[in-house]
Amino acid sequence: RKEVEQDPGPFNVPEGATVAFNCTYSNSASQSFFWYRQDCRKEPKLLMSVYSSGNEDGRFTAQLNRASQYISLLIRDSKLSDSATYLCVVRDNYGQNFVFGPGTRLSVLP
Amino acid sequence: DVKVTQSSRYLVKRTGEKVFLECVQDMDHENMFWYRQDPGLGLRLIYFSYDVKMKEKGDIPEGYSVSREKKERFSLILESASTNQTSMYLCASSFPPTGELFFGEGSRLTVL
Protein backbone atom coordinates (compact mmCIF):
# COMPACT_ATOMS: atom_id res chain seq x y z
CA ARG A 1 0.00 0.00 0.00
CA LYS A 2 1.33 3.43 -0.93
CA GLU A 3 1.98 5.84 1.91
CA VAL A 4 -0.10 8.60 0.36
CA GLU A 5 -2.91 7.87 -2.08
CA GLN A 6 -5.07 10.27 -4.06
CA ASP A 7 -8.01 10.17 -6.43
CA PRO A 8 -6.59 8.92 -9.73
CA GLY A 9 -8.20 11.59 -11.91
CA PRO A 10 -8.12 13.33 -14.25
CA PHE A 11 -10.99 15.59 -13.31
CA ASN A 12 -12.53 17.57 -16.16
CA VAL A 13 -14.97 20.17 -14.89
CA PRO A 14 -16.66 23.26 -16.36
CA GLU A 15 -15.81 26.73 -15.15
CA GLY A 16 -17.69 27.61 -12.01
CA ALA A 17 -17.97 24.02 -10.80
CA THR A 18 -17.08 22.84 -7.34
CA VAL A 19 -14.56 20.01 -7.23
CA ALA A 20 -13.24 17.94 -4.33
CA PHE A 21 -10.01 15.98 -4.10
CA ASN A 22 -9.40 13.20 -1.61
CA CYS A 23 -6.21 11.92 -0.09
CA THR A 24 -5.44 9.17 2.41
CA TYR A 25 -2.20 8.48 4.24
CA SER A 26 -0.97 5.35 5.99
CA ASN A 27 1.43 6.67 8.64
CA SER A 28 -0.63 7.52 11.70
CA ALA A 29 2.35 9.37 13.20
CA SER A 30 2.34 11.96 10.42
CA GLN A 31 2.41 15.48 11.76
CA SER A 32 1.92 17.97 8.96
CA PHE A 33 -0.18 18.01 5.85
CA PHE A 34 -0.14 20.12 2.73
CA TRP A 35 -1.62 20.59 -0.69
CA TYR A 36 0.78 21.56 -3.45
CA ARG A 37 -0.08 22.63 -6.95
CA GLN A 38 2.02 21.73 -9.98
CA ASP A 39 1.46 23.33 -13.36
CA CYS A 40 2.48 21.47 -16.49
CA ARG A 41 6.28 21.33 -16.81
CA LYS A 42 6.73 23.45 -13.69
CA GLU A 43 7.87 22.76 -10.16
CA PRO A 44 5.38 22.10 -7.33
CA LYS A 45 4.38 25.10 -5.23
CA LEU A 46 2.62 25.23 -1.90
CA LEU A 47 -1.11 25.83 -2.23
CA MET A 48 -2.00 25.56 1.43
CA SER A 49 -1.18 23.82 4.65
CA VAL A 50 -3.90 21.68 6.22
CA TYR A 51 -4.77 22.17 9.87
CA SER A 52 -6.73 19.91 12.18
CA SER A 53 -9.56 22.39 12.47
CA GLY A 54 -9.82 22.81 8.73
CA ASN A 55 -8.85 25.97 6.93
CA GLU A 56 -9.99 28.12 4.08
CA ASP A 57 -8.18 30.40 1.67
CA GLY A 58 -10.54 32.15 -0.68
CA ARG A 59 -12.14 29.54 -2.92
CA PHE A 60 -10.04 26.73 -1.44
CA THR A 61 -10.96 24.73 1.67
CA ALA A 62 -8.82 22.00 3.19
CA GLN A 63 -9.96 19.46 5.76
CA LEU A 64 -8.08 16.91 7.85
CA ASN A 65 -9.52 13.88 9.60
CA ARG A 66 -6.76 12.32 11.69
CA ALA A 67 -8.91 9.42 12.87
CA SER A 68 -9.60 8.35 9.30
CA GLN A 69 -6.18 9.51 8.04
CA TYR A 70 -7.91 11.47 5.34
CA ILE A 71 -7.30 14.89 3.81
CA SER A 72 -9.48 16.76 1.36
CA LEU A 73 -9.30 19.84 -0.82
CA LEU A 74 -12.40 21.62 -2.07
CA ILE A 75 -12.24 24.18 -4.86
CA ARG A 76 -15.32 26.34 -5.34
CA ASP A 77 -16.17 28.38 -8.44
CA SER A 78 -13.41 26.78 -10.52
CA LYS A 79 -11.40 29.03 -12.82
CA LEU A 80 -9.53 28.09 -15.98
CA SER A 81 -6.35 29.02 -14.11
CA ASP A 82 -7.03 26.28 -11.55
CA SER A 83 -6.08 23.68 -14.16
CA ALA A 84 -3.06 21.88 -12.70
CA THR A 85 -2.05 18.75 -10.82
CA TYR A 86 -2.80 18.82 -7.12
CA LEU A 87 -0.40 16.96 -4.86
CA CYS A 88 -1.21 15.79 -1.36
CA VAL A 89 1.88 15.91 0.85
CA VAL A 90 2.43 14.47 4.32
CA ARG A 91 5.37 15.23 6.58
CA ASP A 92 6.56 12.61 9.04
CA ASN A 93 6.83 13.10 12.77
CA TYR A 94 10.52 14.00 12.56
CA GLY A 95 9.67 16.85 10.25
CA GLN A 96 12.33 15.96 7.75
CA ASN A 97 10.69 13.67 5.27
CA PHE A 98 7.90 14.79 2.99
CA VAL A 99 5.90 12.07 1.25
CA PHE A 100 4.03 12.99 -1.91
CA GLY A 101 0.91 11.46 -3.30
CA PRO A 102 0.84 10.73 -7.05
CA GLY A 103 -1.28 13.80 -7.73
CA THR A 104 -4.68 14.42 -9.24
CA ARG A 105 -4.90 16.34 -12.47
CA LEU A 106 -7.63 18.94 -12.85
CA SER A 107 -8.72 20.48 -16.14
CA VAL A 108 -11.21 23.33 -15.93
CA LEU A 109 -12.99 23.72 -19.23
CA PRO A 110 -14.55 26.90 -20.67
CA ASP B 1 11.65 35.56 -2.30
CA VAL B 2 13.20 32.17 -1.69
CA LYS B 3 15.24 31.02 -4.60
CA VAL B 4 16.28 27.45 -5.30
CA THR B 5 18.42 27.24 -8.39
CA GLN B 6 19.28 24.09 -10.27
CA SER B 7 22.28 24.26 -12.51
CA SER B 8 20.88 22.64 -15.65
CA ARG B 9 17.32 22.57 -16.98
CA TYR B 10 18.01 19.96 -19.64
CA LEU B 11 20.80 17.39 -19.92
CA VAL B 12 21.45 14.56 -22.33
CA LYS B 13 24.03 12.00 -21.26
CA ARG B 14 25.20 8.61 -22.43
CA THR B 15 25.00 5.37 -20.46
CA GLY B 16 27.96 5.07 -18.11
CA GLU B 17 28.70 8.78 -17.90
CA LYS B 18 29.05 10.51 -14.54
CA VAL B 19 26.41 13.19 -14.00
CA PHE B 20 26.42 16.08 -11.52
CA LEU B 21 23.25 17.96 -10.70
CA GLU B 22 23.81 21.07 -8.63
CA CYS B 23 21.32 22.87 -6.43
CA VAL B 24 21.77 26.14 -4.55
CA GLN B 25 19.34 27.84 -2.17
CA ASP B 26 19.64 31.39 -0.87
CA MET B 27 17.52 31.28 2.29
CA ASP B 28 19.85 29.60 4.76
CA HIS B 29 17.56 26.56 5.00
CA GLU B 30 18.98 23.60 6.85
CA ASN B 31 17.02 20.88 5.06
CA MET B 32 17.54 20.10 1.41
CA PHE B 33 16.11 17.32 -0.73
CA TRP B 34 16.50 15.60 -4.06
CA TYR B 35 13.43 14.04 -5.69
CA ARG B 36 12.80 12.45 -9.02
CA GLN B 37 9.44 12.68 -10.72
CA ASP B 38 8.16 10.16 -13.21
CA PRO B 39 4.72 9.89 -14.85
CA GLY B 40 2.38 7.76 -12.77
CA LEU B 41 4.85 7.47 -9.91
CA GLY B 42 4.83 11.01 -8.55
CA LEU B 43 7.73 12.50 -6.64
CA ARG B 44 10.05 10.03 -4.97
CA LEU B 45 12.72 11.01 -2.48
CA ILE B 46 16.27 10.08 -3.41
CA TYR B 47 18.27 11.70 -0.59
CA PHE B 48 17.88 14.49 1.89
CA SER B 49 20.25 16.45 4.07
CA TYR B 50 19.49 18.23 7.33
CA ASP B 51 22.89 19.81 7.83
CA VAL B 52 26.25 20.31 6.18
CA LYS B 53 27.96 16.98 5.53
CA MET B 54 24.88 15.12 6.78
CA LYS B 55 22.76 13.00 4.46
CA GLU B 56 20.00 10.47 4.73
CA LYS B 57 18.80 7.97 2.17
CA GLY B 58 15.34 8.42 0.86
CA ASP B 59 13.14 5.85 -0.81
CA ILE B 60 15.22 5.26 -3.95
CA PRO B 61 18.91 6.00 -3.26
CA GLU B 62 20.34 3.20 -5.40
CA GLY B 63 22.55 4.50 -8.17
CA TYR B 64 22.83 7.97 -6.63
CA SER B 65 25.05 9.77 -4.16
CA VAL B 66 24.95 13.29 -2.75
CA SER B 67 27.29 15.91 -1.41
CA ARG B 68 26.62 18.80 0.97
CA GLU B 69 29.85 20.64 1.65
CA LYS B 70 28.18 24.01 2.18
CA LYS B 71 24.82 24.81 3.67
CA GLU B 72 23.47 26.43 0.53
CA ARG B 73 24.56 23.74 -1.92
CA PHE B 74 23.32 20.16 -2.34
CA SER B 75 24.61 18.10 -5.23
CA LEU B 76 23.23 14.89 -6.71
CA ILE B 77 25.68 12.55 -8.40
CA LEU B 78 24.99 9.69 -10.76
CA GLU B 79 28.25 7.74 -10.79
CA SER B 80 27.36 5.76 -13.90
CA ALA B 81 24.19 6.92 -15.59
CA SER B 82 21.74 4.32 -16.82
CA THR B 83 18.69 4.65 -19.07
CA ASN B 84 16.32 4.01 -16.15
CA GLN B 85 17.61 7.22 -14.58
CA THR B 86 16.02 9.27 -17.33
CA SER B 87 13.69 11.48 -15.34
CA MET B 88 12.88 14.94 -14.01
CA TYR B 89 15.02 15.74 -10.96
CA LEU B 90 13.73 18.27 -8.48
CA CYS B 91 15.74 19.87 -5.70
CA ALA B 92 14.00 21.46 -2.73
CA SER B 93 14.78 23.16 0.54
CA SER B 94 12.48 23.55 3.51
CA PHE B 95 11.84 26.03 6.27
CA PRO B 96 11.12 23.84 9.32
CA PRO B 97 8.75 26.13 11.23
CA THR B 98 6.21 26.24 8.43
CA GLY B 99 7.19 23.04 6.70
CA GLU B 100 6.96 24.64 3.29
CA LEU B 101 9.09 23.05 0.58
CA PHE B 102 10.60 25.35 -2.01
CA PHE B 103 11.49 23.70 -5.28
CA GLY B 104 13.91 24.50 -8.03
CA GLU B 105 12.66 24.49 -11.60
CA GLY B 106 13.87 20.95 -12.16
CA SER B 107 16.49 19.26 -14.30
CA ARG B 108 15.25 17.00 -17.05
CA LEU B 109 17.85 14.30 -17.63
CA THR B 110 17.82 11.98 -20.62
CA VAL B 111 20.24 9.06 -20.61
CA LEU B 112 20.80 7.47 -24.02
Please tell me the predicted confidence (pLDDT) of residue B100.
84
Type of residue at B63: G
Residues of chain B contacting residue A99, judged by C-beta atoms under 8 Å apart: 45
Contact call for A98 and B101, based on CB within 8 A: yes
Confidence class of residue A94 from pLDDT cuts 50, 70 and 90?
low
Q: State how far residue A94 is from chain B, nearest Cα, in angstroms.
A: 10
B90 interfaces chain A, CB cutoff of 8 Å: yes
Mean of the per-residue pLDDT values of chain B = 93
B1-13 confidence digits (pLDDT tens): 669 999 889 999 9
A41-83 confidence digits (pLDDT tens): 899 999 999 988 889 999 999 999 999 999 999 999 999 999 9
Residue pair B11/B111 in contact (Cβ under 8 Å)? The answer is no
A96 interfaces chain B, CB cutoff of 8 Å: yes
Contact call for A43 and B45, based on CB within 8 A: no
Compute the distance between CA of residue A75 and CA of residue A68 in angstroms, rounded to an integer: 21
Residue B29 DSSP one-character state: -
Mean pLDDT of B88-102: 86
Residues of chain A contacting residue B99, judged by C-beta atoms under 8 Å apart: 32, 34, 49, 91, 95, 98
pLDDT higher than 90, residue B110: yes
A36 interfaces chain B, CB cutoff of 8 Å: yes
Looking from the CA of A85 toward its CB, the CA atoms found within 13 Å total: 22
Please tell me the predicted confidence (pLDDT) of residue A92.
77
A59 interfaces chain B, CB cutoff of 8 Å: no
Residue A64, number of CB atoms within 10 A of its CB: 19
Please tell me the predicted confidence (pLDDT) of residue A95.
61
Mean of the per-residue pLDDT values of chain A = 92
- Position with higher pLDDT, A36 vs A8: A36
Residues of chain A contacting residue B41, judged by C-beta atoms under 8 Å apart: 102
Of B58, B96, B104, the CB nearest to A43: B104
Please tell me the predicted confidence (pLDDT) of residue A1.
60
B78-93 confidence digits (pLDDT tens): 999 999 999 999 999 9
Residue A9, number of CB atoms within 10 A of its CB: 15
Of A44, A95, A101, the CB nearest to B96: A95
Contact call for A98 and B33, based on CB within 8 A: yes
Q: Calculate the CA dihedral of residues A11, A14, A18, A21 and round it to 10 degrees.
A: 10
Enumerate residues 6+ apart whose C-beta is below 8 A from A39: A84, A85
B27-45 confidence digits (pLDDT tens): 899 899 999 999 888 899 9
Compute the distance between CA of residue A26 and CA of residue A22 in angstroms, rounded to an integer: 14
Mean pLDDT is lowest, of A88-92, A96-100, B60-64, B71-75, for A96-100
Residues of chain A contacting residue B104, judged by C-beta atoms under 8 Å apart: 43
Of A2-6, A95-99, B52-56, B73-77, the range with the highest mean pLDDT is B73-77
Please tell me the predicted confidence (pLDDT) of residue A53.
86
Compute the distance between CA of residue B72 and CA of residue B52 in angstroms, rounded to an integer: 9
Contact call for A96 and B90, based on CB within 8 A: no
Enumerate residues 6+ apart whose C-beta is below 8 A from B38: B44, B87, B88
- Position with higher pLDDT, A96 vs A64: A64
Residue pair A29/A67 in contact (Cβ under 8 Å)? The answer is no
